[in-house]
Amino acid sequence: MTSREEWIAGARPKTLPAAIAPVLVGTAFAGYNANALNFLLALIVGLGLQIGVNYANDYSDGIKGTDKDRIGPMRLVGSGAATPEVVKRAALIAIGIASLAGVLLAARSNWILLALGALSIIAAWTYTGGPKPYGYFALGEVLVFIFFGLVATLGTYFAHVGSISFEVLLASFAMGSLACAILVLNNLRDLERDKSAGKITLAVKIGDSQSRKFFQGLLFAPLLISLALVTTSFYFLLAFLALPQVLKVASSIRSGVSGSALIELLERTGKIQIIYSLAISLATLLYAR
């Protein structure tokens, strides 16, 4: 019998900032046009899809044998804590909850969100599932940037106001960069095991050194984006509240930490995303006063 703690660990809570941050930012940019229920529904969609893709990844990698002898968060199937079918059912339940919230959100705003939601569900399942999972062909970061950056941020904003803006587009690039950073770090940690299992992630394709450089670029890119936003308001300099943590994490990754030491960096990268998203959200609200 799988314990509650094992299910929570299997949901990989350290990755959840990637789902929360774009919803916060998209809502903040909507300003006083934001709707509390729409925010809640968008948050359920984001969290449901993130948890769903984590369980789906656990299921797909588990049945392929990719998750044997892994460092990092609990693998329910790979560890034998839960059967593949039970984990698959958990993934479908999480995605189903996200789908229901998405339908309600579309009904309250615009039905075009249904198309975005359908694409997001397909992306969630085919990350490591299906006959040609894109996560096995070094495309994970591209899709994460699109769906946890552009789609999540712009979609949330659109749900509130029915349009998009250039400033929100820039903010969505920042959210996508930080979401990608989490995935790059995760794949860097698993590089050797993925290579042995035949899972060709971007880290496997470009190697350890280039992955570390790419990760650092993803960390600093949002700060450069905030400088571009300063042209609309100096409040966006608040984004640099994340700089101390960015520098610490970047220094650690340059020092060559590996294996289980990267787990702590994964958590700190999630914190950077939350700090950054809260900072630019506050900047947006101050600017809108």
**Residue 70 pLDDT grade (very low, low, confident, very high; cuts 50, 70, 90):** low
Measured distance CA(204)–CA(210) in Å, rounded: 10
Residue 69, pLDDT > 70, answer no
Is the per-residue pLDDT at 74 higher than 90? Answer: no
pLDDT band of residue 71 (cuts 50, 70, 90) is: low
200 by DSSP, 3-state: which? strand
Confidence tier at 272 by pLDDT (50, 70, 90): very high
Reported confidence tier of residue 72, pLDDT bands at 50, 70, 90: low
- The stretch 211-233 carries a mean pLDDT of 96
Q: How many other C-beta atoms are found inside a 10 Å radius of the C-beta of residue 180?
A: 26
Task: Assess whether pLDDT exceeds 70 at residue 68.
Answer: no
CA distances from 99 to 32, 45, 64, 125 (A): 27, 7, 27, 13
Confidence of residue 114 (pLDDT cuts 50, 70, 90): very high
| Residue 211 identity (one-letter amino acid) | S
Per-residue pLDDT tens over the stretch 153-174 = 999 999 999 999 999 999 999 9
Nearest to 265 by CA among 248, 278, 241: 248
pLDDT band at 278 (very low <50, low <70, confident <90, very high): very high
- The candidate with the shortest Cα–Cα distance to 167, out of 46, 30, 45, is 30
Sketch out the chain's domains with CATH numbers.
4-288 (1.10.600)
Q: Which of 38-42, 76-80, 260-264 has the highest mean pLDDT?
A: 38-42
